[in-house]
Chains A and B, each alone.
Chain A
Amino acid sequence: MITNSHGKHGDAAIEAKGIVKRYKSGRGMIEVLKHVDIDAKHGDLTMIMGPSGSGKSTLIAALSGLLRPDEGSVAALDRPNLWKLSGGQIDKFRLDHCGFIFQGFNLFPSLTALQQVTTVLKYQGLSPDAAKARAKLALEEVGLGHRLNLRPAALSGGEKQRVAIARALAKDPQILFADEPTSALDGENGQIVIRLLRRAATEHGAAVICVTHDPRLEAWADRVIHIEDGVIIDDQRRTPNPDAALASH
């Protein structure tokens, strides 16, 4: 295990109130998020589901400090309102506390799996040796201990996503954002990835917020939030089944 447990399971890691985001569309404005209140707790795998265009990606962009909402506040960890901080402070907050996993893996083609992970760790101020040791552990945790020195071109899609997960987990994040992490993967690799996210929540106590439109992932979630047209229409807690199987696409 590479990370410490953060917060107490069940404590709120992030709490957003009254989030409004509008986009310009032609002459008018479209309201993508309509006064959304949402929270996510340590140790939870919170799944945000909804059809495309429902505003789920915009919501996690606003929660993670990537996209400034027009109204509303986001309390994250000990920061009462993330959006009151300067751009540099938000970057620092993400560097210290947040992990990100995207649908595209976004790995530098020139770096080996190990270097992908150490590059980020070095920006956290770790010495090269410490970064290397931590990166190795993270890659071993995602089952890539034997692929450390391969570049993305030599890795399969599932392996690339696992490198991206290792890159996010090695930072020891208290909040982990994942945007459609399995949609570019086949069933088997998707299952590996969702299990890793599940583990990040259970074992590391991270608040994992996963956006997806794949209903089969629900089985692993502690909480499923449905969003449609910028409004949360359903928010239910459930008991995850860590042994659920994700059938092949």
Chain B
Amino acid sequence: MSLALSTLLFEWRRYMAAVMALALSGLLVLAMTGVFLGIGKGFTAQIERSSADLIVMQPGAKSLFGGPSGVPRRFIPQVYNHPEIEEVQPFDMAGGSFQSVKDVDPTMSQADRARQGAPKMNWVSTQIIDTTPDAVTIPIDYSQELIDALRQPFTVAMDETTMPKLGVKLGDKALYNGKTVTVVGVLRGYPSMMQPTIVMSRDTLRMMGQADTGPNVGPLMVKLKDPTRASIVAAQLNEMGKGQWKVWTRQQLADANATALFEEGILVIIVAGCAVLGLIIGVAITWQTLRGAIMANIKEFASLRALGVGMGSLRRIVIELSFWVGIVGVGAAIFLTWGLSVLARMGAVLIVLHPVLLIIVGAFLIGIAMLSGILSMGILKKSQPADLLR
């Protein structure tokens, strides 16, 4: 074991401040990015967790919400032409007003009614499932009971975190676009971050008069007979489409959705801001900690100098030490973020830890540690062996 590593392990308390600074810098960036990714996942969960192996969109689409995602209805039979297709259904979305129903005396003043918790109207976004058995539009974690319940006309379901916002409970009646609906299902893990989202069957949406009935429909969700052949079939379908459409595998689309999120200027600014803050705080604390720790061993370093070990070798020891501090910091950052994401999930907030993100943040933290190491090298000048002679 090298001198640097054994020093870090033996005197770990001395390096704790640096490790924690790195871990918290990492947590800041990972958690911020993870929350945004989680919000993004909230928007696209219905499709990303469906049993669709492929999604067909317009050629110009960059992600589910980036560019034209809907397609002409005639694409449906065209996609069916491929022999390996099991089912094709267009995704459908709508929106409307949502108001809980509560018996409040309408003759009371507005202030009195508000005091009694009179219902407020919310704008919601609406997503659909088909209720036929094993339909491609059904997210794989929906229970059979939920699907059965949504099969009833004028029923809706929503995430547990959306319910207090809309002022309803399971079994309550509410008004959607002025028509009475019943809340028959509670979802878990589909938090709606900005606009509340509700789910209903395609048939209910049609009865609401909001379903796509015209020549254009939403992105096509495609189920294959053999899901393992998704990328092969996607390529074949792209060829068959002759450029009219673009076929995505579910994973490709999920990745594109996550990437598209960071084309939003404001998110990039927030995440970059966190990264810069993390960098400054991380470098400052790690640098000072390393300096202090090296200073504590300065006589030992000086005795190595006396024995002829050159300054370059001592600098390498410091660099190696800061590298190991970085490695431990990355581990601590991942652990802390994981812990936070578990806590967040209990509060129904999704923090998504993407492996690519972990690698980037890991490299970022090791960079901080090494930079701090380079900064703290100056202190080695104090290792003057002549000072040891008294």
Binding site for B on A (CB under 8 A): 57-58, 60-61, 64, 66-67, 88, 91-96, 98-100, 102-104, 106-111, 115, 119-120, 123, 151, 164, 167-168, 171, 179-180, 211
Task: Report yes or no: A104 in contact with B389, Cβ–Cβ below 8 A.
Answer: no
Across-interface contacts of A115 in B (CB, < 8 A):
1, 3, 6
Contact of B302 among A106, A109, A120 (CB under 8 A): A106
Task: Report yes or no: A179 in contact with B388, Cβ–Cβ below 8 A.
Answer: yes
Task: Report yes or no: B308 in contact with A91, Cβ–Cβ below 8 A.
Answer: yes
Task: Report yes or no: A95 in contact with B309, Cβ–Cβ below 8 A.
Answer: yes
For this complex, 22 residue pairs linking A to B, each with C-beta atoms less than 8 Å apart, are A60-B389, A61-B386, A66-B306, A66-B385, A88-B310, A91-B305, A91-B310, A93-B308, A94-B306, A95-B309, A99-B307, A102-B306, A103-B390, A104-B299, A104-B388, A106-B299, A106-B300, A106-B302, A106-B303, A108-B3, A108-B300, A151-B10
Given A91-B310, A115-B6, 15 new contacts (CB under 8 A): A58-B389, A91-B308, A94-B306, A98-B306, A103-B388, A106-B300, A108-B7, A110-B6, A110-B9, A110-B10, A111-B3, A120-B304, A167-B307, A179-B390, A211-B389
A48 → chain B, closest Cβ, in Å?
Answer: 11
* Chain B contact patch, size range: 20 to 34
Across-interface contacts of B306 in A (CB, < 8 A):
64, 66, 94, 98, 100, 102
B236 at the binding interface (Cβ < 8 Å): no
Distance between Cα atoms of A180 and B388 in the complex (Å):
11
Task: Report yes or no: B307 in contact with A107, Cβ–Cβ below 8 A.
Answer: no
Task: Report yes or no: B389 in contact with A179, Cβ–Cβ below 8 A.
Answer: yes
Interface string of B285-307 (1 = CB under 8 A from A): 00000000000010110111111
Contact of B307 among A58, A100, A109 (CB under 8 A): A100
Binding site for A on B (CB under 8 A): 1, 3, 6-7, 9-11, 297, 299-300, 302-311, 313, 384-386, 388-390
A189 → chain B, closest Cβ, in Å?
Answer: 19
Task: Report yes or no: B388 in contact with A106, Cβ–Cβ below 8 A.
Answer: yes
Q: Known: A67-B386, A179-B388. Is A123-B308 also a contact (CB below 8 A)?
A: yes
Task: Report yes or no: A123 in contact with B297, Cβ–Cβ below 8 A.
Answer: no
Across-interface contacts of A96 in B (CB, < 8 A):
308
